[in-house]
Chains A and B, each alone.
Chain A
Amino acid sequence: MSSLRANLWRHALAWVLIAFTFFPIYVVVVSSIDITGSLATNSFLPPAIGWDNYTLLFTNEDIPFTTWVKNSLILASASAVGSVLIGAAAAFAFSRLRFKGRRVGIQTLLLIQVFPSFLALAAIYVIMGEIYKVFPAFGLGSVGGLLLIYLGGAMGVNAWLLKGFIDSIPLELDESARIDGATPSQVYWLIFFPLAAPVLAVVGLLSFIGTFNEFVLASLFLTDIESRTVAVGLQQFVGNQFAQNWGPFTAGSIIASVPLVIIFLSLQKYIVGGLTAGSVKG
């Protein structure tokens, strides 16, 4: 009992913040089952509860929610796979190969990656507009073009993240393979890749989450209602002040975020590890 009293302020702070945290979550959950479709609940529970908002997402032809989910999944998967391949190869080179310009290469990468590509969005808009004139499938307004831009940032961010992990794989393994006459690409594909597979999966999932949540460039590119991702599609639901479809919006939000939250919580350890990796060295 005394320990509870001594720690009372700790519990109190936690509970206050839990209330703060749950406030919008509660509002979303309640709105999604409130069939009047408003975001203003008078009572603790809405007067009329039902699944209408959820079924609406899958039945209403004006709301291609399943298409958006599909687009997001395709885009996020493609970007995750591409990022991991690019990032892993680069990280391998920087971690395992000794070559002239390696130091400069890493430093340059480290500097460039502090400028996320959306900072240059005016330039991207103009450049992709030009590319559209030649290859509509990879220019402004296309999923393909968006993917290319995402992959542009892949090396900086992922190589950096992966290099730390790769440095921890014992050097003896690939050294003995080299002595046995293996080429660097054999070492990469046959030794390094299988060993790093779990880490690559984690980085891939992180990249997946990142792409799924990306909004700026996606909204710039995906103007066509059929090609939108979940982020852009749901934003259009409620972004416009005359379109306040909160019922289906909240239902869609829950469907979209529950899997991501689960992935995130199960990767917690790695995410926190990655967050502090750069700092604790101090």
Chain B
Amino acid sequence: MYRLVGFTGTPALILKLLLVGIVDFVGGFAIVSALDVGSTIIAGVLLVILLFINWVYLFKSPTPFKFLAPGIVFLLVFVLVPIVYTVAMSGFNFRTGNEISKEQAIEQIQIVSLSEDAEGTAFDMAIGKDATGDYALLLKNQINGEVLLATLQGVTVLAEGTYEVDELGIPSSTEGFTRLTNKELNQLGDEIVNLRFPYIDESFVSPLFDGLAILLTQDLIYNPDNDTFVSKSTGAVYADNGNGNYANTQKKKDVLYPGWRNVNFPQNFTGLMFDPELRGPFIRVLIWTVAFAFLSVLTTFSLGLALAIAMDKPIRGRRIYRSILILPYAIPGFLSLLIWRGMFNQDFGIINRILVDIGLIETNIAWFEQAWTARLMIILVNLWLGFPYMYLISSGALQAIPSDLKEAAAIDGASSFQSFRMITLPLLLQILFPLLIASFAFNFNNFNMIYLLTGGGPRDELAGERAGATDILISYAYNTAISNPADQNFGLASAISLFMFIIVGILSLWSLRRTKALEEF
């Protein structure tokens, strides 16, 4: 009947080796470049993936792995890792200003606390090397004309006559100093500007660029022994405050920036529940999220079911009705949402215009600027987008209900409404239960609906509000983590996301268990 040709023997083996070889080559290259920029985590993950792929396809691994490996890799890296990472981030103070590691933060604070000395001392500079081959600078103070030799060990003042100057008047040579040639200067990398040539009083000379150096002093001195910073100018002591920052031991609010990512579990969660500044918006958003998801299902299902019942008889034109009425489901959702947004526009939107024309309102409604009109609008637009789906699934379910049940009810003298309420509806709800729960979960996370229609607004931006009147949890998390690059709070956003995971997870588990989907295999 059929013959098994191809994909056997040598050609198949060569093809397999070729494919794995390409993956190994690209992957190996990627690991090297990851190590190059010092990203050991990415390199490690890549290595594990590569080993896994090689084991699966080149060694005697169980057959199912050969089919599941690609999916598993993508699922683990791009679905499971973000979920786990979300859980981890929610336990951290991880936000703008607290994004780096503690070591990096200490380094940054020291750099940030550098300041030029009060006089603004600057030097003409020649770059060279000292007798030991380390970099050294020959400097001429631009203010008082003093000439100095700066090495990494310290500075020495040179007396008149112990050095020579070039045609520009810059000191160019002295004993134990070899000036770099132009060629060497050109090859000079960035390392020179990071060098510190100690000067008096913990200040140091810092080369700026060819020919110029300035005097910098460090105000905050780090003491690794007791992990504190001390300010030279004020004498204040800054200690680790346990929340990712060095804070003034006398004045808790006076903290040094940048801070670092610091474990602060469970502060992101307790903040959402007890901190009045966060709790108010969070509870409001949570209530609206649930209300929105519930009302979405209720309105779209009611309308869809009514339509399905109306179309349950072979009336004339049913096929055409059906094709037209599922259009909102077929049109790309993001386009529909943007169009509705334009139609609701206060000034030029067609909806206000029609309402004024038919005399229902006197002046244009500012749909987007009041909480309740914005919410009403969302429910209405969602109804347009969602009823065709509910119509499709309801009419499918209606056909699955045995008609003899209804006939029996009719014989027993039930009115058609009674038969609907007592027989059809309960059966229908039972059949559609998992889909209604899925629809609830979908709307619970319906980011597009909110983001594209109202952007979560109205919100008082001047008061710094992050949560708008129509924000749902997912858009609130987005506002918190991403939308404002100057103020991103990943830790808090992850805590909000965890609430979504839990709610969606419970709903799905409930639905899966009820339908026994998990026990089917």
Determine if A190 is an interface residue (Cβ-Cβ < 8 Å). yes
Determine if B384 is an interface residue (Cβ-Cβ < 8 Å). yes
* Interface pair A257/B338, CB less than 8 Å apart: no
Determine if B323 is an interface residue (Cβ-Cβ < 8 Å). yes
Asked, given contacts A89-B70, A102-B64, whether A124 binds B4 with beta carbons under 8 Å apart, the answer is no
Determine if B47 is an interface residue (Cβ-Cβ < 8 Å). no
Which residues of the other chain, A, contact B10 by a CB distance below 8 angstroms? none
Which residues of the other chain, B, contact A106 by a CB distance below 8 angstroms? 521
* Interface pair B306/A235, CB less than 8 Å apart: no
Complex Cα distance, B325 from A272, in Å, reads 14
Determine if A197 is an interface residue (Cβ-Cβ < 8 Å). no
Select which of A21, A86, A239 is within 8 A of B325 by beta carbon.
Answer: A21
Say what secondary structure dominates the interface of chain B: helix
Select which of A134, A135, A149, A215 is within 8 A of B448 by beta carbon.
Answer: A215
Asked, given contacts A184-B63, A190-B6, whether A40 binds B33 with beta carbons under 8 Å apart, the answer is no
Question: Looking across the interface, which residue of chain B has its beta carbon closest to that of A213?
Answer: B332
* Interface pair A130/B515, CB less than 8 Å apart: no
Q: How many residues of B contact A (CB 8 A)?
A: 110
Asked, given contacts A119-B474, A257-B335, A275-B392, whether A41 binds B42 with beta carbons under 8 Å apart, the answer is no
Query: When each residue 465-500 of chain B gets 1 if its CB lies under 8 Å from chain A and 0 otherwise, what string results?
Result: 000000000100110111000000010011001001
From residue B1, how far is it (CB to closest CB) to chain A in Å?
8
Query: When each residue 99-141 of chain A gets 1 if its CB lies under 8 Å from chain B and 0 otherwise, what string results?
Result: 1001101110111101111111111111100110111000000
Query: When each residue 36-72 of chain A gets 1 if its CB lies under 8 Å from chain B and 0 otherwise, what string results?
Result: 0011111000000000000000000000000000000
* Interface pair B434/A120, CB less than 8 Å apart: no
From residue B318, how far is it (CB to closest CB) to chain A in Å?
8
Question: Looking across the interface, which residue of chain A has its beta carbon closest to that of B80?
Answer: A112
Select which of A39, A119, A235, A256 is within 8 A of B504 by beta carbon.
Answer: A119
From residue B305, how far is it (CB to closest CB) to chain A in Å?
11
From residue B64, how far is it (CB to closest CB) to chain A in Å?
5
Complex Cα distance, B512 from A280, in Å, reads 14
Which residues of the other chain, B, contact A25 by a CB distance below 8 angstroms? 327, 331
Segment 50-87 of B: residues with Cβ below 8 Å from A:
62-64, 66-68, 70-72, 74-75, 77-83, 85-86
* Interface pair A185/B7, CB less than 8 Å apart: yes
Complex Cα distance, B78 from A16, in Å, reads 45
Determine if A201 is an interface residue (Cβ-Cβ < 8 Å). no
B212-220, B236-244, B343-351: which lies at the A interface?
A: B343-351
* Interface pair A13/B306, CB less than 8 Å apart: yes
Asked, given contacts A39-B350, A86-B70, whether A112 binds B338 with beta carbons under 8 Å apart, the answer is no
* Interface pair B434/A279, CB less than 8 Å apart: yes
Give 5 CB contacts A-B under 8 Å.
Answer: A110-B518, A112-B80, A122-B490, A155-B75, A186-B8
B121-129, B186-194, B393-401: which lies at the A interface?
A: B393-401
Question: Looking across the interface, which residue of chain B has its beta carbon closest to that of A150?
Answer: B78
Complex Cα distance, B74 from A123, in Å, reads 16
Which residues of the other chain, B, contact A33 by a CB distance below 8 angstroms? none
Which residues of the other chain, A, contact B432 by a CB distance below 8 angstroms? 279
Question: Looking across the interface, which residue of chain A has its beta carbon closest to that of B330?
Answer: A264
Which residues of the other chain, A, contact B430 by a CB distance below 8 angstroms? 282
Complex Cα distance, B215 from A161, in Å, reads 69
* Interface pair A10/B79, CB less than 8 Å apart: no
B226-234, B291-299, B309-317: which lies at the A interface?
A: B309-317
Select which of A92, A107, A119 is within 8 A of B497 by beta carbon.
Answer: A119
Complex Cα distance, B88 from A86, in Å, reads 29
Which residues of the other chain, B, contact A27 by a CB distance below 8 angstroms? 339, 343, 350
* Interface pair B323/A265, CB less than 8 Å apart: yes
Determine if A234 is an interface residue (Cβ-Cβ < 8 Å). yes
Query: When each residue 318-342 of chain B gets 1 if its CB lies under 8 Å from chain A and 0 otherwise, what string results?
Result: 0001011111111111111011111
Which residues of the other chain, B, contact A244 by a CB distance below 8 angstroms? 342, 345, 348
Select which of B71, B387, B518 is within 8 A of A159 by beta carbon.
Answer: B71
